[in-house]
Amino acid sequence: MSGQSLTDRIAAAQHSMTGSAISKAVCKATTHEVSGPKKKHLDYLIHCTNELNVSIPHLADTLLERTASNSWIVVFKALITTHHLMMYGNERLMQYLASRNTLFNLNNFLDKAALQGYNMSTFIRRYSRYLNEKAMSYRLAAVDFTKMKRGAEGVMRTMNTEKLIKTLPTIQNQLDALLDFQPNSNELTNGVINTAFMLLFKDSIRLFAAYNEGVINMLEKYFDMKKNQCKEALEIYKTFLNRMTKLSEFLKVAERVGIDQGDSPDLTQAPSSLLEALEQHLASLEGRKLKDLSAASRPELQWSQLVEKKPTGGGGWQSKTMCTSTNWTHTTHPMAPAPMPVPQMMTHQMGGVPMMPPQTVMYNQPVLRSTNPFGPMPGTQMHFM
């Protein structure tokens, strides 16, 4: 089916007669035409969210009513329109959506009219779950993670330990719901699902930026945490490594459908020595002993620098050193444990485990290339010696 259906035209005419400009715009943004909502209708609805005399509940309820349709096209476009307004509209809309007890109830949605309806219904159910989770995240954290201030003075980098450990799982849940959309490149076959995928792609970049900065902050605080906090932080970090793998698969789909790779973060897995060091520290707090680290991964760990990349006025990038090199066996770095006297022959030890002489291991945290159109994501580079 292409173009507006007779039903679409009649509905638009009815809204014109009743004088409801918002209802008419929503109707036109969610027609039966197999393409994404038109920009002019989205722009008008964004404008409406910024007008104080516009009823946000009425706008939201009108969008929710469109999801009651039996047509996968109408429902999908209603979700896309809602997502677009969440991203670019006034925050009043997000606040209202987050305050509702229920948002989208589409777990059983199925369009049986055609084979394409069966296929697209699966993605509608997944997409609605993500939007529900996005609203829930805002309700729990009172902030949109895709819009928060980033960088050295950003929200996630300056958050205290207790709040950080509560917030990172919320980001993880939202990212999980996003990555569960799971399309194959050969399933992105029409303008409707392609529009939804592009919005999800943009959210994934921004969401992971906040996630990444929160994990960096957590690792900086790890050796000053209490035992229970260390245990939670370690699980969060393990989950983070797994999400990096899933995000990489998601971005490969974006690459295959032609999204510029300059838009994607450059993901590099951390070496196992970092995870082993975190586990070793927790074990020492619990009075346990872990097996000796392998010879290949037993360097005396050292932080050499924490770098935040910022765009310069000329379009290039500059690096600002945040922390200087410090052994974990000293106390001048905030991640270092308390000092303890050790014999000269035991200098290369951590947690009672003899360490090999210093050797360099590189840990590149995810870094956005400077061509990213959605704004800079600070990167981190850690050297372990």
The pLDDT tens digits for 72-81 are 999 999 999 9
pLDDT at site 288: 76
Selected residue with higher pLDDT from 152 and 166? 166
Lowest mean pLDDT among 46-50, 260-264, 289-293: 289-293
What kind and span of H or E run contains 265? strand 265-266
| Segment 182-194 mean pLDDT | 94
Q: Which residue has the tokens 């997409």?
A: 127
pLDDT at site 360: 41
Percent of the chain with pLDDT over 70: 68
How high is the mean pLDDT of the chain?
77
pLDDT at site 273: 82
Q: What angle do CA 255, 256, 259 make, to 5 degrees?
A: 40
Selected residue with higher pLDDT from 330 and 172? 172
Q: What is the CA radius of gyration of the chain?
A: 25
pLDDT at site 325: 30
Cβ proximity of 209 and 145 under 8 Å? no
Report the alpha-carbon distance of residue 167 to residue 161 in Å, rounded.
Answer: 10
Q: What is the tens place of the pLDDT at every residue in 107-162?
A: 999 999 888 999 999 999 999 999 999 999 999 999 999 999 988 889 999 999 99
Report the alpha-carbon distance of residue 22 to residue 57 in Å, rounded.
Answer: 12
Out of 94-108, 255-269, 317-331, the most confident range is 94-108
Strand partners, 291: none
| Segment 269-291 mean pLDDT | 82
Strand partners, 350: 353
The structure tokens listed for 315 are: 């379009």
Closest CA to 169 of 236, 117, 120: 236
pLDDT at 240 > cutoff 80 = yes
pLDDT at site 170: 97
The answer to whether the Cα torsion of 274, 275, 279, 280 is positive or negative is negative
Cβ proximity of 81 and 73 under 8 Å? no
Task: Indicate the pTM of the whole model.
Answer: 0.74
Cβ proximity of 355 and 349 under 8 Å? yes
Cβ proximity of 236 and 164 under 8 Å? no
Using 50, 70 and 90 to split pLDDT, how confident is the model at 260? Answer: confident
Q: What is the tens place of the pLDDT at every residue in 5-46?
A: 656 555 555 545 444 789 999 999 999 999 999 999 999 999
pLDDT at site 6: 53
Closest CA to 97 of 46, 134, 69: 134
